[in-house]
Amino acid sequence: MALTPTAFEWVCALVRKESAIVLEKGKEYLVESRLVPLARAAGAADVSAYVDGVRLRPDRRTQVAIVEALTTNETSWFRDGAPFQAFATTVVPALKQSRATTRSVRIWSAASSTGQEPYSLAIGLQDSLIAEGWRAEIVATDLSTEVLEKAKAGTYSQLEVNRGLPAPLLVRHFTRAGMNWQVNANIRQMVRFQQLNLTGSYAALGQFDVVFLRNVLIYFDLATKRDILGRVRRALKPDGYLFLGGAETTLGVDDNWERQLIGRVSVHRPKN
């Protein structure tokens, strides 16, 4: 049986309440596909029956599982390529000059999912700043505790490492772990994972030189986008850099940013 309107609307309300992510009509297929494994594990006849059971007999753990299933995004190594190239060829050299006194950088990978983005950044820094004696800390956050546990382990299947990771980097920065691959310890120790809801407080995070907030703003309404961008700006150093996804922009959302074009990548800088 297809997902009923009542079940879909309840899931949409739950996800919006917990994460501020908006699931619009037409996303029924997404909700159903993401919740099928949970419904099967619970022994429910179908997704609608599973959702109705949770709706009528509220259970916090199950509600969290539903939200995490709907808010976990697929990711890959060096996703989209160009932003990481812009980071390596322009941003890192600029940081070398502006941070020459401290010889340290802090980067925030927001909505880091299963860890491919922060580890991609760490690999790039290992071959540049770290090799020259600099210190780097990457703080990786996500709403889902489940994906954070996977990210902390740093262990990926052959299929997962095949998604965007060049073979020379795999050989150099990973070690075989049975049928899987594990990120080497020197890369893992550069990244600190923690749970964070982007609609909550960032106060405990401190300030960053670079923020990667990619492919997540598209899920929020305008007011939430504006709120998040304002608080990200306060978490970014005055001369810092913000990377958004290819379909995301500050234009018409928050005018306190300047756009800097690096190749075909738009990087955003706080207005002073």
Distance (Å, rounded) from C-alpha 180 to C-alpha 160? 9
Active-site residue flag, 142: yes
> Which residue among 34, 188, 214, 233 is the active-site one?
34
R_g over Cα of the chain: 20
> Which residue among 46, 79, 106, 142 is the active-site one?
142
Q: Name the β-bridge partners of 242.
A: 211, 268
Distance (Å, rounded) from C-alpha 246 to C-alpha 214? 8
Look up residue 183 and give its amino acid. Answer: V
| Of 82, 62, 83, nearest in space to 14 by CA | 62
DSSP label of 72 = P
| HSE-up of residue 132 (Cα within 13 Å, Cβ side) | 12
Q: What is the DSSP string of 119-173?
A: HHHHHHHHTTTGGGT-EEEEEEEES-HHHHHHHHHTEE-HHHHTTT--HHHHHHH
Q: Enumerate the active-site residues.
A: 34, 142
